[in-house]
Amino acid sequence: MYDPKSLKAEDFINHEEILETLDYAEANKNNLELVDSILKKAEERKGLSHRDASVLLACEDEERVQKMYALAEQFKKDFYGNRIVLFAPLYLSNYCVNGCVYCPYHMKNKHICRKKLTQEEVKKEVIALQDMGHKRLAIEAGEDPVNNPIEYILECINTIYSIKHKNGAIRRVNVNIAATTVENYRKLKEAGIGTYILFQETYHKESYEKLHPTGPKHNYAYHTEAMDRAMEGGIDDVGLGVLFGLELYKYEFAGLLMHAEHLEAVHGVGPHTISVPRIKRADDIDPSTFDNGIDDETFAKICALIRIAVPYTGMIISTRESKKVREKVLHLGVSQISGASRTSVGGYAEPEPEEDNSAQFDVSDNRTLDEVVHWLMEMKYIPSFCTACYREGRTGDRFMALCKSKQIQNCCHPNALLTLREYLNDYASEDTKRIGEELIQRELQNIPNPAARETCEKRLAMINDGKRDLYF
Ligand code: SF4
Ligand code: SF4
């Protein structure tokens, strides 16, 4: 039975409920009166249920679809302004005991180069990332209790936070590791992680079990209930995601929103972020063998509808997507992007030799961080390296409450300018610096509160005098 409050995966991601939702959406996709009433409801900015959002996803009426895009764009402007937060992934180890058929790290892949960073190598990678200007990382590791036990992950987090090279610092470490126990989540919380990210891959149980034929990840319930254990372990911010291309996207979309509804119903706070990866070519993986791939247009519609359905949840897009696709969806609600990513184990300090391929997937956007920052500013976005909320304790329900009251806007905008100032002074090329200076002057005028504007101006001057890590 469908029950968003239940702690059992098959109740809160209820297969029958999803099938009924898809039937309902299909039956009503041309019911323009209903579609209009859902769009009206969406305008209240309180989000949409998985059923309502699924009707919008099914609707193909051009005028209504354009309205969905316009609404997503408006929400993006109202809740996130023109800021885009930047981060980089750091792969610690690609040893993995699972058999995921879409990932080259699966255990049976005998020719991929297996690597695990030593603490000395972690240090080198972090220095290289700091030297680019990164402040926020997402660490990634395969599931392997012998090679990558929780103690190893904790040691790496500790090493990452301890490195202060020149003016650099990693101020927020998000963690993307396999589903684990409440006790281990508690340890991650104590280590000071930001968001715990775990992609569901697919919400369709039968497909899930086929796609994960061996290893602990085969257990659908244990994987799907991981966020509840993470929250029980004290982690406030969790990040959801599905790998689009594995199953029918309409099914995944409904499942994703039901998962968000479940977290809200049980823990009083929805997901902090949602990621929207699409399956990509990798070592022994050919995406064309999966027949549920989605085209760029559908991908954009999904992004827009996530923005409308869960307005307060950040949306992340990685370098799996090309510059062109990223440009298309940035304004539809994406709030965070990765830049200059390496998806191999190591590779920031020194490029990986071709014969040593350890990458999880092929990157579609190969630009440097400076090029990404420059590109964002040319499109009038403010690249932000802000990590303030987590360090001020604005996480979980505190973060959501601020977000819903729009108070978060008074922090994000000036913080984006302060962290951009740091980036320009410490890492930017001359050309990036030039357009960055103009952008800061222009955007200072967009801080509505005169007192906040004045404080921001003072802090910008302090950064020019050598101070770092100032935030609202
Ligand atoms: S997706 Fe994760 S768990 Fe699966 S094989 Fe790849 S690294 Fe291992
Ligand atoms: S102030 Fe908080 S919500 Fe805003 S960009 Fe910084 S960390 Fe994110």
In this structure, is residue 343 part of a structural domain?
Answer: yes
Q: Which protein residues are within 6 Å of ligand 2, measured from CB?
A: 85, 384, 386-389, 408, 411-412, 415
Q: Whose CA is nearest to atom 7 of ligand 1?
A: 142
In this structure, is residue 42 part of a structural domain?
Answer: yes
Find how far residue 160's CA is from the centre of its chain. 20
In this structure, is residue 355 part of a structural domain?
Answer: yes
DSSP string, 213-273: -SSGGG-HHHHHTHHHHHHHTT---EEEEB-BTSS-HHHHHHHHHHHHHHHHHHHS---SE
In this structure, is residue 19 part of a structural domain?
Answer: yes
The span from the CA of 198 to the CA of 184, in Å, is 14
Q: Is 212 in the pocket of ligand 1 (CB under 6 A)?
A: no
pTM for the whole structure: 0.97
In this structure, is residue 31 part of a structural domain?
Answer: yes
Read off the pLDDT band of 281 (50, 70, 90).
confident
Q: Which of 98, 176, 284 to mutate to test the pocket of ligand 1 (most atoms within 8 A of CB)?
A: 98
Ligand nearest to the CA of 208: 1
CA of 175 to the centre of ligand 1 (A): 14
Domain holding 426, by residue range, is 405-464
Task: Indicate if 379 and 413 belong to the same structural domain.
Answer: no
In this structure, is residue 69 part of a structural domain?
Answer: no
In this structure, is residue 301 part of a structural domain?
Answer: yes
Atom nearest to 142 CA in ligand 1: 7
Residue 237 has pLDDT above 80, yes or no: yes
Task: Indicate if 100 and 153 belong to the same structural domain.
Answer: yes
pLDDT, tens digit (0-9, with 9 covering 90-100), for 398-420? 887 877 777 777 889 999 999 99
Q: Whose CA is nearest to atom 4 of ligand 2?
A: 412
Tokens of 220: 């659908």
Ligand nearest to the CA of 413: 2
Task: Indicate if 34 and 102 belong to the same structural domain.
Answer: no
Task: Indicate if 170 and 255 belong to the same structural domain.
Answer: yes
Task: Indicate if 424 and 458 belong to the same structural domain.
Answer: yes
Place of tokens 């859902």: 38
pLDDT, tens digit (0-9, with 9 covering 90-100), for 345-396? 999 999 888 778 888 888 989 999 999 999 999 999 999 999 999 888 888 8
Task: Indicate if 254 and 123 belong to the same structural domain.
Answer: yes
pLDDT, tens digit (0-9, with 9 covering 90-100), for 105-151? 999 999 899 999 999 999 999 999 999 999 999 999 999 999 999 99
Question: What is the chain's length?
Answer: 472
Ligand nearest to the CA of 142: 1
Q: What's 197's domain CATH number?
A: 3.20.20.70
Q: Is 105 in the pocket of ligand 1 (CB under 6 A)?
A: yes
> CA-based diameter of the chain, in Å?
63
Contact in structure between 368 and 132 (CB atoms under 8 Å)? yes
Q: Which residues neighbour 21 within 8 Å (Cβ) at sequence distance 6 or greater? A: 50, 51, 54, 254
Q: Domains in the chain: how many in total? A: 3
Task: Indicate if 28 and 54 belong to the same structural domain.
Answer: yes
Q: Is 86 in the pocket of ligand 1 (CB under 6 A)?
A: no
Task: Indicate if 122 and 218 belong to the same structural domain.
Answer: yes
Q: Please tell me which residue, 403 or 296, carries the higher pLDDT value.
A: 296
The span from the CA of 389 to the CA of 83, in Å, is 15
Task: Indicate if 430 and 302 belong to the same structural domain.
Answer: no
